[in-house]
Structure 1
Amino acid sequence: MTAPAVHRAGDRAWIVDCPPGTVRQVADGAAADGWDAWVSDVVPAACTVLVVARPGARMAALRRHLRALAARPPRGRGTPVPGPRTVEVPVRYDGPDLSTVAERLGTTPELVARRHAAAEHHVGFFGFAPGFAYLDGLPEALRLPRLSTPRPRVAAGVVAIAGNQTVVYPGGTPGGWHRIGTTTAVLWDVDATPPNRLALGDRVRFVEVPA
């Protein structure tokens, strides 16, 4: 088996190419068991993890540590994973694209809402904007590709779907996802501690509220 690749990123960071199913174990282990003295930040993505080292860290040793984490067998479904929670997000299924989504899927807006709220979503990774969580778990029956041309600006609290994922827009960013609802929940607050309400691996349950 080929050892996972670990690439240098600038003078104080490594990017780990994670085999399928290992992103979280690499992200969790990167700064665990004393390695936090050498690691200042860990940024998981869809299939990579960026690990930023503190000044003076032994970069070669850190690389060996990260490579060993990525080489471990993926944690199975029955393996306890530290830290996951279930976070409930209230949502009004009143998005401007809801009717179009239902029409394209050959169903009704009510059924789209019901299927979305019943699904088990979880935080796959973060990216694009601070606190912007990509939530995996969208049912096959609700999957559509992103728009070919993104909108220049999407308001805060918009709940949108594309591919196998759901996102909640932080506001002020472009976006090419299908807007099916809105929420008053604030998932990123720079003045909060921590600012991000969600963490990698958290389960997210969308709870329908009257529109």
Structure 2
Amino acid sequence: MIVASSKPFPEIKKMLSGFKKVCVLGCGSCVTICHTGGEKQVTELAAQLRLAAKLEGRQIEVKEDSTLRQCEWEFIDDIKEVIKDCDAVLSIACGVGVQYMAEKFPKIRIFPGLNTTFMGGPTEQGIFWERCAGCGNCILETTGGLCPISRCAKSLLNGPCGGSQNGKCEVSQETPCVWHQIYDQLDTQQLLATMETIVPPKDWTTGMENHPRKMILEHLVMKKQ
């Protein structure tokens, strides 16, 4: 899932200053799970905007709505009637959702209410950890299913480094050393010999350094044609 954090309210208020009819639009997927862009957050943020305007003596109309996914055309088609007379939309989706909204409705100002941070998941209630860097060349089959690209501070392909101590990363003692975890995982699976193989330098051209990236599913493209 994509994990995103809420922008500070003063920043949001500044972005929306001067607009008199705004829609706060949530997304029912990833950002709902990480408690930053769901229907509850839409209601709370809309209330904050109304209260701030009232305290400042400004007139503002704030609509509230949400869609299952802002990153798919068919879902954002459903909200065009809601936002057609709005001056601006505050999207509390990930950065992909914000861009889809901006492309679909070019005449309406679309503002981001969140900061997209990483791909990850919850490890316990209220705590989310990065798990994937989207490098485009997955090696999880050799590391016991644990990703050293996203979970190692140095993205080491041959670890651990000399700085890890007692299973903790030298960068932060709160962060587990993923190579320690990989060792334990491979030991459990009786695959420790895998670590004796030196992994060559990674082809980073498949990662974020070579953006924008695109994936084409040929069978679907041919079917559409």
TM range (shorter): under 0.3
Q: What TM-score does the superposition give when structure 1 sets the normalisation length?
A: 0.25
Q: What TM-score does the superposition give when structure 2 sets the normalisation length?
A: 0.24
Q: Which has the higher contact order (CA 8 A, sep 6+)?
A: 1
- Greater C-alpha radius of gyration: 2
Choose between structure 1 and 2: higher helix proportion: 2
Choose between structure 1 and 2: higher strand proportion: 1
